[in-house]
Structure 1
């Protein structure tokens, strides 16, 4: 008995595609070794004493929604696996909305789910950005039906603003665009409810800003630029626009994540490539001024922020691609536009996205993304998980602190910590006497101390002769033995030397 595809209903085909995506999602999440940023927010939620994790939210520069959910999860379990499970359900939700609620053809929705951002970056990596994808899609569905703000769209935009700084900025752009789109700048009594909804959304943006705004004590290394004009920063920013639509990594490099196959050694592409891509992807909006305005405003906002901060990661510039989907969504619904040029442009975009998505998904499957999980499991297996631990550098240690469900003495803070605290107390340099003090404190009970290093410790004899390193050496009045080494995976900062320290 043969099943004919053309005999299937549209609903059957959508169910099959959603089922295939679920399978890919499960395989991707189960094969992915979480990296430090995934664990970092988990630890901030786990170790927060305040309700909903607000204590750590306000000090780390993140919007509250994702971490609030993690705070609730960690009240029931300290196993990071549940964070991945929860994230998987969010990815499933945005896939459902795209398949069942979007105006796109089935083949378009299916191929969008194979894109770099919807198959890997915002699906496999468990971060706050998946919430952003979901709320962008839900907002597009609600607003395209009503063409005005309602209670539903207001709630969605309020939540969207509180997912990430990029979602916050785009929510502000959407608010400004709605004023223009609905001609709300002309006061009418009939629009009073619309003004009320806009005020509520604006409060959501303000709430997100107050959480994200760096405090006076913040020491996170960001070099902000506006004037004088920095050409290199500008080139980096427009390179990110190109990578948002051609997200094909430079897989010949050992550390290829967040790269592009056309980048030079400075991490930029030829200036005309982003220009060509911008022209191509903007063609569908060229004669629809209202949609074009939303597109240009959103792109301008993100590129300026990238130029200003120097941020250059896929999870950030992926919001340009999400904005493009929203604009195309509105184009399809508001204007019922159907022509070959738009289909070709859409096909070009999802072809580039599909190549990048499938290649990255497969690379994450065959290579270790991070070796932090392996280091933690090694410590468990060899009976060291309860020993006093000292570590440097702090921001690379969250995988171990999370998987061992404990705190570690971080040299950068001279204290037991789990997540990284980017405050003025954080030390950028450590000295020999700092290490001696930490060891003396930890070895009081007579048990060996475990020292974990993600970088070379200049005071350890082991690192002084790289061709023939000494696996056992003396430091101060202690015997130090190198026990294991875990080389970096796709994420290059996360490598781990594990030393055992005992009294002589």
Structure 2
């Protein structure tokens, strides 16, 4: 009883510390366009039908947007989204600290690691919702095997499917594991229970609903995103090699640290560095596999989950570190599941000696991996405190300070400038798709303007007043003279390379442009 009380106090204390530090990080984090896009989609919807319509070209399930939708009706300030994200990230941390079968040191290192404490906490995206349901599943999975609540587990998987594509992949792996668990443990009585098949129906409905939401329309930018190539081994190698970046997520110490890795400091050719990363990644994968191997159910889940994430990256979307972070959580979930099953033994003693080595060194291995995550989180959150993650907020504040927030604004590129639009809470004219709006609609364009400046000139002639240009790349000196632009201010200290902004004013009446202008 005393140990239980101490464990609960430990979970509450560390959760409080996590929540306070994450709040500090959030309040010093400038959101970038991918965070703000979800906020604008929910904010600009006047009804649930409007929200569904806004989501058509996003390629995400709607749960995160449904959570944000009522919040946007209370406040139009995107900080409200960060507070919601804080609550979900804190809940995820508490569930892990309270129920994960690791010692206190490992629990503490994990929750303050790169993904739980920076990528899925400081940056407000839908990924943390999927992780919350993953942890909930793991916590309830091993609870009362004889009277397991399959309905509850299937509801958790249903909701997990509604978070994002990668959490859907993990939910499929968990569902497959649930289905085959009686075969792996030779306990076939569950196959005679109607509740088992009702749970399958609930999960299948959730998966079907998720696929419907993620399937892009025929005119979507993502419609032809299947990327199977003939070079299968090379593509799979690329996916597997990223496990190094996921397990050792220590970035370079520089302004543009995001999506970098300390391995790039090695003074060797790029090709050799890739080979080193590939073999190191395989080593990390195999070490984890050897830890879980003698627990059939956990090993089965681990292999299905890793194969699923790799296949998704190969077939649909290669993604970035934030997507591949699901390799990390799949591994942690497999290790969590290990605690629910007795360790199997081989008939050959030499096999047992081999796998005993990995069992004995499991905590040392996890301490190394989780400590690397802590270092990565410390570097990432520190640099995010020193430098703006995005210049969108600072650009918007400058515009407000000079009372230009009501001027017609031309934003280029539209996906980048949309972040400034979010902070100003107003639509921009986007010259490439030739439309006015806020969030990016990922629709393939047949009629686009190839020259943003000429399109802006035509827009300015329509509104018959000066136009403020918010571009995410500098305009050449020749075009500044040609279009008689007035440079205002440049914001170039963004951690995200494409979130720099350059402000110009195009005066009215229009300058005369000769026909030689491209």
TM-score by length of 1: 0.89
Equivalent residue in structure 2 for 1:387, among 407, 422, 426: 407
Deviations 1:277-331 (A, max 9, x none): 1112222112122211110111011112212345231211111111111111111
8 Å CA contact retained: 2:410, 2:428: yes
Structure 2 partner of 1:413: 433
- In structure 2, the CA distance between the partners of 1:268 and 1:307, relative to structure 1 (3 Å rule), is farther
Structure 2 partner of 1:430: 451
Structure 1 partner of 2:248: 246
Matches of 1:492 and 1:83 in 2, distance apart?
24
The answer to whether structure 1 residue 51 and structure 2 residue 48 are counterparts is yes
Report how far residue 428 of structure 1 moved: 7.3
Q: What 5-or-longer segments of structure 2 have no aligned partner?
A: 345-355, 510-518
Report how far residue 429 of structure 1 moved: 2.8
Structure 2 partner of 1:164: 164
The answer to whether structure 1 residue 344 and structure 2 residue 364 are counterparts is yes
Equivalent residue in structure 2 for 1:334, among 331, 341, 346: 341
**2:84 is paired with a residue of what secondary structure?**
helix
8 Å CA contact retained: 1:103, 1:333: no
Equivalent residue in structure 2 for 1:439, among 460, 465, 483: 460
Structure 2 partner of 1:124: 122
- In structure 2, the CA distance between the partners of 1:182 and 1:56, relative to structure 1 (3 Å rule), is farther
Moved more, 410-419 or 13-22: 13-22
8 Å CA contact retained: 2:390, 2:496: yes
Structure 1 partner of 2:516: none
Matches of 1:341 and 1:220 in 2, distance apart?
44
Structure 2 partner of 1:449: 467
Structure 2 partner of 1:78: 76
Structure 1 partner of 2:331: 324
Q: Within 5 A, what are the aligned runs for 1:191-270? A: 191-220=193-222, 224-230=226-232, 232-252=234-254, 254-263=255-264, 265=270, 268=274, 270=276
Matches of 2:150 and 2:402 in 1, distance apart?
58
8 Å CA contact retained: 2:411, 2:418: no
Deviations 1:49-90 (A, max 9, x none): 441721122321111100111111112211101000000000
Structure 1 partner of 2:28: 31
8 Å CA contact retained: 2:161, 2:207: yes
Matches of 1:428 and 1:438 in 2, distance apart?
12
8 Å CA contact retained: 2:246, 2:328: yes
8 Å CA contact retained: 2:11, 2:98: yes
As a proportion of its length, which structure holds more helix?
A: 2
**2:489 is paired with a residue of what secondary structure?**
strand
Q: What 5-or-longer segments of structure 1 have no aligned partner?
A: 1-5, 465-469
TM-score by length of 2: 0.87
Deviations 1:75-117 (A, max 9, x none): 2211101000000000110111111222222222111111110
Moved more, 141-150 or 484-493: 141-150
8 Å CA contact retained: 2:130, 2:164: yes
**2:361 is paired with a residue of what secondary structure?**
helix
- In structure 2, the CA distance between the partners of 1:71 and 1:176, relative to structure 1 (3 Å rule), is same
8 Å CA contact retained: 1:93, 1:134: yes
Matches of 1:11 and 1:415 in 2, distance apart?
55
Matches of 1:240 and 1:373 in 2, distance apart?
32
Report how far residue 231 of structure 1 moved: 5.1
- In structure 2, the CA distance between the partners of 1:154 and 1:269, relative to structure 1 (3 Å rule), is same
Matches of 2:191 and 2:24 in 1, distance apart?
54
Q: Within 5 A, what are the aligned runs for 1:93-112? A: 93-112=91-110
Query: What root-mean-square deviation, in Å, do the aligned CA atoms of Structure 1 and Structure 2 show?
Result: 2.5
Structure 1 partner of 2:15: 18
Matches of 1:206 and 1:47 in 2, distance apart?
27
Deviations 1:328-353 (A, max 9, x none): 11111333899532222222221222
8 Å CA contact retained: 2:151, 2:198: no
8 Å CA contact retained: 2:431, 2:455: yes
**2:439 is paired with a residue of what secondary structure?**
coil
Report how far residue 405 of structure 1 moved: 0.6
8 Å CA contact retained: 2:431, 2:449: no
**1:235 is paired with a residue of what secondary structure?**
helix
Deviations 1:371-424 (A, max 9, x none): 110000000000000111111100001221111111000112211110111112
Structure 2 partner of 1:174: 174
Report how far residue 25 of structure 1 moved: 0.6
**1:145 is paired with a residue of what secondary structure?**
coil
